[in-house]
Structure 1
Amino acid sequence: MKYVDEFQDPDLAARLLDDIRAAVTRPWALMEVCGGQTHTIIRHGIDQLLPDEVELIHGPGCPVCVTPLEVIDKALEIASRPGVIFCSFGDMLRVPGTGRDLFQVRGAGGDVRVVYSPLDALRIARENPDREVVFFGIGFETTAPPNAMTVYQARKHDIRNFSLLVSHVRVPPAIEAVMQSPDCRVQGFLAAGHVCSVMGTREYPALAERYRVPIVVTGFEPLDILEGVRRTVRQLERGEHSVVNAYPRAVRDEGNPAARAMLDDVFEVTDRAWRGIGVIADSGWRLSERYRAYDAEHRFQVGDIATREPAECRSGEVLQGLLKPHECEAFGTTCTPRTPLGATMVSSEGACAAYFLYRRLDLPARPTAAAVPGPSLEDSTVG
C-alpha cells in the first residue's frame, strides 16, 4: 500500500474489525497517546465500530493541550513587551491563558506573528536586528529537533536577538505517570508513530515490562489504528506485554540518530509541568547550559507568574483519560471552539475539539458487532 487512500480502504478495515471481534473474549481498555490518532478515531467512528469489549481512552497526546498555563502566561507577558516580535505556530494563538490569549495581545498592539517553521522566526531576527524575536517552542519529541536546530543555528551565526520559549515534553514519562495513577484503567497503549520516528522504540520495553502492558507503535490512518488495536488485543488475550512496531514504513527501532544527536546537544532533560496533570519527573527538555543565553524565560525574567485555571474546565481529567469530553458539563455549552475554557477545545489535536467538530455532543449508542456488516463500514469510516 503506497498511497494514503489505501490506508482508508473500507474492505480492509472490515477484515481488521472481524479479526478483532474474533480475538477478543473480555473487556480491554487501550489508550492512544497522540492527538492526531484521537482525531482519526473520532472522525472515522473507529471507537464506535470496535466491539463493545474494546474501549479506547484518549490520553495526554496533544502538545498544545498539555502546555501548562504558567508557560502560556509567560508567552503573553513576553509578547506584550515593547520591542518584541513574538512568533508562534497558529494553533497557540487562541489557547487561553489567565484572562487573555495571544490574539488579544496582538489586538492590543503586540507584534505577534504566525510562522510555519522556527527558521522563519530566525529569519525575522536577522531582518530585525534592533528587535527581540522570540519563538514559542512547544511539543513532543516530534517538534523538538527543528527547534533545537534553530537554536544551534542562532548560536553558530551569532544571532543574539533570537530566543526560544521552551515547553517541550516527552511521551515515555507521561505513559509512566498514567500507569502510576490510582485511577488508571489502561491495559495497553497505542504509541505515536511520529514520536518514535525521531526517538525510536528504545524507551518503551522497560515500560512494557515494568507495568506489564503491551505497547504497539502505530500510525494515523484508519487502518493504522485498527492494526494497532488488533495487535494490542491479541497480546492482551495471550497475556503478553511486549513492544511491537506496527508502523515500519516510518519507524525504525533506532529512530533518527541525527535528530537525537541534535537534541542531546541543545537540550537537557528536566522535570516538566503538564497542564491539567501536574509535574512529571524527567518529562521535558530545557536548553542546556551551552545554549542558556537563548532561553527566553531567562532573558525576559518571567519566572514569577501567577496563574488561574477556570474552575469549570475539566480538561485535566480529559487529558488523563478519566473523562470523555462530552461528559464534561461545560462541553458544547459554556465551552466551545469560539469560547474555549481550555486548550483541549482549541487545539487541532485536542480531544474536546475532535468531539465538537465531529458532533460527538452526547453519549452515542454503540452498535453491536452484528449491526456493523462490511458494507456499512464504508459509509461510516470513509468520507
Structure 2
Amino acid sequence: MEVSKAYRDRRLVEKVAEAIRKEAPPQRLKIMHVCGTHEQVISHYGLRSLLPDNVEVIAGPGCPVCVVPAREIDEAVTLVLQRSEVMLTTFGDMYRVPGTHLSLAEARAQGGDVRIVYSVSDAVKLAEEHPSRQVVFFAIGFETTAPTTASEVFNGPPRNFSVLTSHRLIPPVMELLMGVAETYFDGFICPGHVATIIGTKPFKLFPEAYHMPTVIAGFEPLDIMVAVKHIVDQVARNEAYLVNEYKRMVKEQGNPRALRLLEEVFEVVDGYWRGIGRVPLSALRLKESYVEYDARAKFNVEVKASRDLKPGCSCHLILTGKLTPNECPLFDKACTPRTPQGPCMVSSEGTCNIWYRYRGYPQKYLR
C-alpha cells in the first residue's frame, strides 16, 4: 500500500478512534490545532464524528490570510489607489479579504492595478517585464512561505520591486493563547509544514513551560487521529511532552538553509494579528540592509485608523477557539463565501469557509 493511502486507510483510522474512545479520561478535553490545512482535513473527512463526545478539536489562528490586520490591507489599498505607477501583487486568497473600507478586489474595481500571483517569483518576473512600473508584492503567510520572500529579496530583484510584508510566526501566538484568561484547551496539535522549516525545538516550550501536551502532525486523517490519541494519553497520565508525529517530513533542526535566509533578510518584531491584537515578537520586517525593497519605507505609506471586524462578526472568537463558526449569529445568514463579513469566511483556509463547505462537526467519516 502506498504511504499516502495508508494514512487515509479507514480501518487504521477507526482503530485509532476506538483506542481514543477507550483511553479518554472522563472529563471534557479540548485540543487546539493552529493550521488551516488541519481544519480542512478534519472537516473534509469528518474526523470529529469519530471522537467521543467529551473530546473536542477546536481551530486556532492557523489561517495566514485571516490574521492579516485590516491596517495592512488598508496600506495595500492606499498604495495601489494613490500611486498610478504601482502594480500590487498578492495571492488569490488575499484578494477579497476586507480591509477597513475596501478589499483589494474592490480597489481593483476602482481602477487600482491589482494582480493575483502564485508565488513571489511571479511578482519579480512582472517587475522585470514592466521596468517602468513599481511592482509591490503583498507578502503574507507563516514560516512556511516567508523563506521564499527572503530568497527573492536576498537574490537582488529589480529595483522596481518591493515587498509589503505581513509575515507572521506561529509559536509566539500559541504562547500568547496560553496566557489569555484561563487556558481553555488541553493540548496543541502543531502544523507540520511550519515545523518542516523551524524544526521541533520551538514547540518544546509548551510542554516544558506550560505542561501542555503538544504534537507536531502531518496532514492525512491518520496523522491527525494519532496526534489526538497522543494528547489524550498524555492528559490521562497527567504528562506533557512533545511528540513529532510527522517524522517522515519534520527533522529536529528543521530546514537550516531556510532558517539562514530568514535570519539574513528579516528581523523579528512585534506584530498585530487580526482579531487578536499585538503579539510580541511574532512578525517579520526587512532588515535595514534590505530597506530598498521595503514598500513601507519606499513609499512612506500612511493610513488612517483601521477597523478589523464588522459589527456582529465573531472572527476574533473563532480565531482563538472560543466559538465554532455555527455559534456566530452571522454564519450562513449574512455571512457566506459570496458575502463574507470577515476574513474567516473568505480564505479557503478560514475556519468559517471550511465549515460552510463541509458543515464542520456533523459529517461522517468518508470512505
- TM-score normalized by the length of structure 1: 0.92
> Following TM superposition, by how much is the alpha carbon of 1:305 offset from its aligned partner in structure 2, in angstroms?
3.0
TM-superposition CA deviations, 1:187-218 (whole Å, max 9, x none): 11000000000000111212221110011000
Cα-to-partner distance string for 1:331-366 (whole Å, 9 max, x where unaligned): 111111111111100001100001101134xx85xx
Query: Which amino acid is the alignment partner of residue 218 of structure 2?
Result: G
Aligned match of 1:160: 159
Aligned twin of 1:310: 310
Give the match for residue 49 of structure 1: 50
- Describe how 1:177-192 pairs up with structure 2 within 5 A: 177-192=176-191
Please name the residue that 2:88 is paired with.
86
SS at match of 1:116: coil
Task: Give how far 1:41 is off.
Answer: 1.0
Contact 2:14–2:50 (CA under 8 A) maintained in structure 1: no
CA contact (8 A) 2:61 2:319 kept: yes
% same residue: 45
The CA distance in 2 between the partners of 1:144 and 1:230, in whole Å, is 31
Is 1:195 matched up with 2:205?
no
CA contact (8 A) 1:8 1:382 kept: no
Q: Between Structure 1 and Structure 2, how many residues are aligned? A: 364
SS of residue paired to 1:249: coil
How high is the TM-score relative to the length of structure 2? 0.96
Report SS of the residue matched to 1:380: coil
Match of 1:223 in 2: 222
**Contact conserved, 1:102 with 1:112, CA < 8 A, in 2?**
yes
CA distance in 2: counterparts of 1:260 and 1:212, whole angstroms: 27
Counterpart of 1:96, as a letter, is: P
Q: Is the CA contact 1:41–1:47 (under 8 Å) kept in the aligned structure 2?
A: yes
The alpha-carbon deviation at position 183 of structure 1 amounts to 4.0
Deviations 1:117-139 (A, max 9, x none): 10111111111111000011111
RMSD across aligned positions (CA): 1.4
> Is the 1:345–1:353 Cα contact (8 Å) retained in structure 2?
yes
Superposed displacement of residue 304, structure 1: 3.5
In structure 2, what is the equivalent of residue 257 of structure 1? 256
Distance 2:140 2:8 in 1: 30
Given that residues 17 and 50 in structure 1 are in contact (C-alpha distance below 8 angstroms), is that contact kept between their aligned partners in structure 2?
A: yes
Equivalent position of 1:334 in the other structure: 334
Counterpart code for 2:61: P
Superposition map of 1:104-253 within 5 A: 104-153=106-155, 155=156, 159-253=158-252
Counterpart residue number, 2:343: 343
Cα distance, 1:297 vs. partner? 1.5
Q: Which amino acid aligns with 1:330?
A: L
Partner of 2:356: 356
What are the residue-to-residue correspondences of 1:46-85 with 2, within 5 Å? 46-80=47-81, 81-85=83-87
For structure 1, list consecutive stretches of 5 or more residues without a partner in the other structure: 365-378
Tell me how far 1:380 sits from its aligned partner.
2.9
Distance 2:112 2:52 in 1: 51
Gaps of at least 5 residues in structure 2 are: none
Question: Could you tell me which residue of structure 2 aligns to residue 21 of structure 1?
Answer: 21
